[in-house]
Amino acid sequence: MRPIQARISIGAMAHNLRVARSYAGAARLFAVVKANAYGHGLSRARRGLAAADGFAVLTLEEAANLRQMGVEQPILLLEGIFGADEIAPCAELELWPVLHHAGQFDWLRRQPPVRPIQVFLKFDSGMHRLGFPLAEHAAVAARARNLPGVAGVTLMTHFAQADEGAGVDWQLQPFLHEVAGHGLPWSSANSAALLRYPETLGAWARPGLMLYGASPFTDASAELLGLRPAMTLQSEIIGVQSLQAGEGVGYSQLFRAKRPMRVGVVACGYADGYPRHALTGTPILVNGRMSRTLGRVSMDMLCVDLSEHADAGIGSPVVLWGEGLPVETVAAAAGTSSYELLCALAARVPVLEMD
């Protein structure tokens, strides 16, 4: 069998949820499990994050799957309903849709749910992606409260820079200023805001990334935050080459040896979810010690520098990211984010589930 494997730890997710809880104060927690739980598998996340107060997903299908798995907590649909045909299933499965444009109100008015539902009204406080303009808050909230079939309203916004120096204040202050008068519960915090800005907590926080054990920040590691990586992508060396000075390795011969050296070939490529744009020098663990990738990542293989790994050979274990090598470190070296790497784990990679 091809030696690549993703070890996914249910216990690490449970641990990270406890860490999230320790930051959350009185706020309740939606565990964000969209995108196949950031690549970790919806069913595994459901078990690891069973103690969450609710779950947040993108699609009706994900929500229905969670209900089928026995989830009884509230389920938030982060982008709400995509058509009037999704109202009935929302009521049936007791889902909480986000409402972010007027068309969704019209659908609800024409086809009121048979059972009253909770809705989240999303306001745009500066990200300029989804949501009603903050200036329209009074009219939007009034419309929502008057809709037939709406049992309760929570106000919501999303931050564009909670993980950066610019922070949340420029969005949070206008949001709080406008929504405070409604006396309604509100929700704003993603992982970064939950970890760094307690004033964002409100009634419900919505952490995703941190539950999988990655840090949203460049200036604070997951370890420093007390988080444990839930996914370790590992493989083995399946070939060894000896290069002479001047010889190249891989497609386009992007790396050339300056002196004679040994190169290991690892069974992991971009078709497994490893980033193709990772250049020579991306950190990688061989036999538990740091090395670097060499040259271009292939579909099924990549190369590592064994110059200082005399002990390594065919069968030596390699960690691409996870335990001992934070996914953030690999993401930074590859010019991408830990979100993208985790989500991109390919379906062909066998998963070993750990406690």
Q: What positions carry a catalytic annotation? A: 34, 251
Kindly list the distances between the CA atom of residue 266 and the CA atoms of 254, 273, 305, in Å, as whole numbers in the listed order.
17, 14, 11
Residues 6+ apart with CB under 8 A from 96: 54, 74, 75, 76, 77, 117, 118, 119, 120
Q: Which of 48, 202, 207, 275 binds ligand PLP (CB under 6 A)?
A: 207
State the binding string over 174-203 for ligand PLP (x if CB under 6 A, else -). Answer: ----------------xx------------
| Site for ligand PLP, residues 216 to 275, rule: CB under 6 A | 216
Is there binding between residue 304 and ligand PLP (CB under 6 A)?
no
Contact 69, 93 (CB under 8 A): no
| Binding test (CB under 6 A) with ligand PLP, winner from 144, 209, 320, 345 | 209
Is the CB of 100 or the CB of 296 nearer to ligand PLP? 100
Of 158 and 262, nearer to ligand PLP (C-beta) is 158
158 near ligand PLP, rule: CB under 6 A: yes
Judged by CB under 6 A, does residue 32 bind ligand PLP? Answer: yes
Count of positions (residues) in the chain = 355
CA distance 33 to 35: 7
- Please state the closest distance from residue 205 (CB atom) to ligand PLP, in A: 9
CA distance linking residue 275 with residue 23, whole number of Å: 32
Q: 3-state DSSP call for residue 86? A: helix
Cα dist from 207 to 159, 218, 251, whole Å: 12, 17, 40
Interface segment toward ligand PLP; rule CB under 6 A; list 47-55, 164-172, 206-214, 327-335: 206-214
**Residues ≥6 apart with Cβ < 8 Å to 93:** 60, 63, 64, 67, 75
78 lies in the site for ligand PLP, by CB under 6 A: yes
Considering CB under 6 A, how many residues would be counted as binding ligand PLP? 11
Interface with ligand PLP, residue 39, by CB under 6 A: no
Contact positions vs ligand PLP (CB under 6 A): 32, 34, 78, 158, 190-191, 206-209, 216
